Amino acid sequence: MICLDVPRGTRELSEEFWSGALGRTFVRGQTHPEYSHFGMVNAHVLLLQGMGEGDARVHLDIHTDDLSSEVARLVALGAREQARHDNWVVMADPSGLTFCVVPVASDDETLEGATRWP
């Protein structure tokens, strides 16, 4: 399970953003309404990334076979581009949570079962 902790006042924006970004409908918890569940999203991979400076955090990587289109789609949903690197883009969701958009070949196994956008 990957949990995204968002500050008070940004929950609704974050729910809408991640619902659109992942192509999943969220359901708010009945017993624990502080949680919104997006269901299973493919198989999960855990990657440990060594960083230079900064606080420890968790972030998601969104893999895509069309980097510029995916970045534009996520910006339209409310994300902000923070930095471009050699071949990936660092972005922030409406709550300020950092995530990356990473290009992969269209036959990459990480895209198996992925949502396809028109």
Task: Decide: 2 and 45 in contact? Cβ < 8 Å.
Answer: no
Does 30 have pLDDT greater than 70? yes
* CATH fold for the domain made of 11-111: 2,3-Dihydroxybiphenyl 1,2-Dioxygenase; domain 1 (3.10.180)
Q: Where are the domains of the chain?
A: 11-111
Percent of the chain scoring above 90 in pLDDT: 30
Q: What is the pTM of this model?
A: 0.74
How far is residue 33's CA from residue 55's CA, in Å, rounded to a whole number? Answer: 28
Q: Confidence band (pLDDT; 50, 70, 90) for 2?
A: confident
Closest CA to 11 of 97, 71, 69: 97
